[in-house]
Structure 1
Amino acid sequence: MPHARPFNLKDLRHCLLLVGCAGSEVAWNLRVPANEASGPWRAMFKERDPRVEGWTRDPQDERVAALREKLQRSNCMPNLPVFSPLDPDYNVSAVASFFHEHGFVVLEKALPELMLENLKNASGYIMRRIFEEDPEGSFGGGAGKLPHRYSLGDASGTKSNFHLDAYAELVDLPTTTPLLQHIFGSIEYLAAGSGGDVVLAGAIEYQSLHPDAIWGVLEGPVAEQEVPPAVTINFVLEPLTALNGAMRVVPGSHRWPERPPHLLEEPDWMQFNTLCPLPAGAAIFRDNRCWHGGTPNLSENFRALPNVEFFPPKANPSLGWLDRYTMPWDVWQRLSPLGQYVSRHVVAPPDEEIPGQDFYSPGAILNIMPFLR
């Protein structure tokens, strides 16, 4: 991790109040209209949540209060199955079968306390850098480029955070690696990137359901692929609740050939099929074909879900996921032998500088992919 003053998420909460810190208002900002991201996204991306059009980003707004009550009442997935790799009865083969059937699975206690704390600090460091440029939380990020949301990958000058030890070490964990090997049926899979998403307090909009289509050209229809064309693991930093913007998923949708419904067409069971409550340290495995989307964050703190993205053996992913270096040699050397092996396509040669390393901006992705401008 770069030499910067330690920055814990608990410290950052002081910057997430209405009054803000150093003049910032990065939560519940009344000056940021619903659905209106700033920067280049305003002209390019037209995703909107029409149900909140004209609302004020105010926790005291009657419509926001009604939404809060609705989320508290209905928002968490009923009987959400959670597996523990530390349980003596844990069966990795059965958990992999659950994943293949439903397109997602949740493991609790995936991160030990020290790794969890290191990941919190690294994510807090990234967010502090982002807020230096976007103190109002208005730039927009992630799918749909809605305000009060960011992509931890798109905000990095390398489109990844593998230059931070706390992110790089996630490629090989005793709790997650056995399941990845069962899912891909091989140890030849590839670690491709590390990003994640952040939703600020005061994000009143729903993010539309979508797959993360990062797999590139495939032989045959994507829904018919037996091996997932990409798998993402999100790591839970703070407990996920009905109110703090947890992810919702549609089980089985990774096998559906049709497009996800628009927000206005989405049935209630999809809207409230949210992965909560979940404890800190949990890992959410997701087949990237599985429909998922963000929910409103009506709490007082932001919610971050760092991730690592993996591809199957011989993958040819789109948009240059494996054709540039994102992990410095010295970081790579500190990984386990298996971690080094699965990261073999993203590690830079010794002493080679990685362009964009440790550069953070809400729109850093535009430097890598200028066609998005």
Structure 2
Amino acid sequence: MNVTAEELAAGRLSPESLELAVRLIEVNGFVLFEEVLPRAQTEALYARMEGLLQGFMEEKGFNLRDGFHDGTNHIGLHLPFEQPFCHESLIAHPFVTDVVDRILGEDCLLTYFASNTSMPGGTKAQHVHADMGARFGDRCGANLPITHLVVNYPFVDVTEENGPMEAWPGGTHLHPDRWYGPNAHDKSRLAEHMLSFKATMPAGSILIRDDRMWHRGTPNRSDRPRTNMALIYTSAANGPGEGSIAIPRETYDGLSEKARRLLRKEKIGFPAARPD
């Protein structure tokens, strides 16, 4: 969806845009708002991520020449809850919170605070997968309501060359619950015969998706990391009993009322964790 200049200036979706975004997620599995965050902000986020990734690679002994993670050169990195990552425009952007409140309920939670990066030199794509497992194993033959929404903010322009996410929308999130368990049909095998698209987008866009939509990371054939932020919002009834995001008390107290409510079950009063 292309947001209007009026919506960007107001920092809010119009009622018509909000309704369309909600229906697109319900029917197609995702919605994409292009180029919402300022370019200066995404450049600062990218620069900070480059430093974290370099330190993580050195700590783990990874190098691009030999490759890692089965040749995908993909890194999922939990982020420290500190600036510039915990900015209000990322954790409680009104474009996002209006959508997730409509789908998950106004008492929903922010339960995951991380990043996904396709590093240069990858030789393989990831296996096609959904981020959500079956809630009832092999026992449930019905499609269940949405309980988790993944939100991605790319910090760099995502192109065909630098490892875009490949997705299979339009119904892969609407299968019976048992299709998301370990004994389900092989998604990678089925996906070979299905239509997909590469999620290219400008830096600062916002991608909101049902976490059951099939997808995979693809190889990065550029010379720079393709990195984005990954947040997960969860309905209150399906949230964890105890959160995992460590948030310093001073940082938490400085957030807006909306952001504090989203994070109310996390580890408030703990020092920001090292990226891992």
TM bucket normalised to smaller:
0.7 to 0.9
Bigger-Rg structure (1/2): 1
- Hey, what's the Cα distance between the residues in 1 that align with 2:111 and 2:117? 20
Q: Structure 1: 5+ residue runs without aligned partners?
A: 1-81, 154-160, 365-373
Contact 1:325-1:345 at 8 Å conserved across structures: no
- Hey, what's the Cα distance between the residues in 1 that align with 2:109 and 2:163? 29
1:118 aligns with 2:36: no
More relative contact order, 1 or 2 (CA 8 Å, 6+ apart): 2
TM-score by length of 2: 0.81
Q: Pick closer, same or farther for the CA change 1:87–1:193 going to 2, 3 Å.
A: same
Contact 2:113-2:245 at 8 Å conserved across structures: no
Q: Pick closer, same or farther for the CA change 1:152–1:109 going to 2, 3 Å.
A: same
- Hey, what's the Cα distance between the residues in 2 that align with 1:222 and 1:265? 19
**Paired residues for 1:209-358 under 5 Å:** 209-213=128-132, 221=140, 224-226=143-145, 228-251=146-169, 252-257=171-176, 258=179, 259=184, 261-267=186-192, 269-270=194-195, 272-276=196-200, 278-317=201-240, 322-349=242-269, 352-353=270-271, 357-358=273-274
- Give per-residue Cα distances to partners, 1:5-62, cap 9 Å, x unaligned: xxxxxxxxxxxxxxxxxxxxxxxxxxxxxxxxxxxxxxxxxxxxxxxxxxxxxxxxxx
- Hey, what's the Cα distance between the residues in 2 that align with 1:340 and 1:149? 31
Bigger fraction of residues in strand: 2
Q: What secondary structure does 1:179 align onto?
A: helix
Q: What secondary structure does 1:253 align onto?
A: coil
- Hey, what's the Cα distance between the residues in 1 that align with 2:35 and 2:142? 31
Contact 1:231-1:285 at 8 Å conserved across structures: yes
Q: Name 1:191's counterpart in structure 2.
A: 110
Q: CA deviation at 1:288?
A: 0.6
Q: Pick closer, same or farther for the CA change 1:275–1:256 going to 2, 3 Å.
A: same
- Hey, what's the Cα distance between the residues in 2 that align with 1:254 and 1:171? 24
Letter paired with 1:254: H
TM-score by length of 1: 0.62
Contact 2:124-2:218 at 8 Å conserved across structures: yes
Letter paired with 1:231: L
CA RMSD of aligned residues (A): 2.8
Identical residues among aligned pairs (%):
19
Letter paired with 1:107: F
Contact 2:72-2:125 at 8 Å conserved across structures: no
Q: How many residues are paired up? A: 257
Please say which of residues 85-94 and 162-171 is displaced more in the overlay.
Answer: 85-94
Contact 2:74-2:217 at 8 Å conserved across structures: no
